[in-house]
Amino acid sequence: MAAALFADRIPDHADSVEVSSAGLLEGGTAVPEEVLEVMAPYGIDLRAHRSRRLTQPLLEGADLVLGMSRRHVQEAVLLDPPSWPQAFKLKELVRRGEAIGPRRPDQGLRSWIDDAHGHRTRSTLANYSDTDDVEDPYGGPIAGYRSVADELAVLTRQLAGFLWPEDG
């Protein structure tokens, strides 16, 4: 849901951006019916989407790696240690974006991500706090999926606004 919403938020004039999605479970699984239902109001059809497992080649060269939870970021950094400076929980990056402000007109995407990374240390990955985690609605009631979709819509809109500010 997050990848589809984020891809939908990227302005047409934006940098050349490829958004992809991968997870920790085996790939090839279709999107649950609940996801199809809650994404429809956003004009997003994920019927053709199939899950895929996160791998080191998917991470190589990525400008930005977003996880919904600390565990996702941990796994990404374990698979591809050089991805650490650009690996964030989505909520964490939005929070950091609020602190540093939107990307300046003369600032490259990677420079803004570096600013957001700041002085984080890998030891934060050992922290057991779920403060910046997005709840996984899988297997729960449709209301949980709807709540997560709404939360992701707000977060992805905020992140896109930081990366591609309209006045930039």
pLDDT in tens, 51-84: 999 999 999 989 999 999 999 999 999 999 999 9
Continuous H helices in the chain: 2-9, 33-39, 56-59, 70-79, 90-100, 109-117, 142-163
Neighbours of 101 (CB within 10 A): 11
Q: How far is C-alpha 117 from the geometric centre of its chain's CA atoms? A: 15
Q: Which fold has domain 2-11+31-163?
A: Rossmann fold (3.40.50)
Q: What is the pLDDT of residues 111-168, one digit of tens each?
A: 999 999 999 999 888 877 788 999 999 999 999 999 999 999 999 999 999 999 975 4
DSSP code of residue 9: H
Contact indicator for 110, 63 with CB cutoff of 8 Å = yes
Domain ranges of the chain: 2-11+31-163
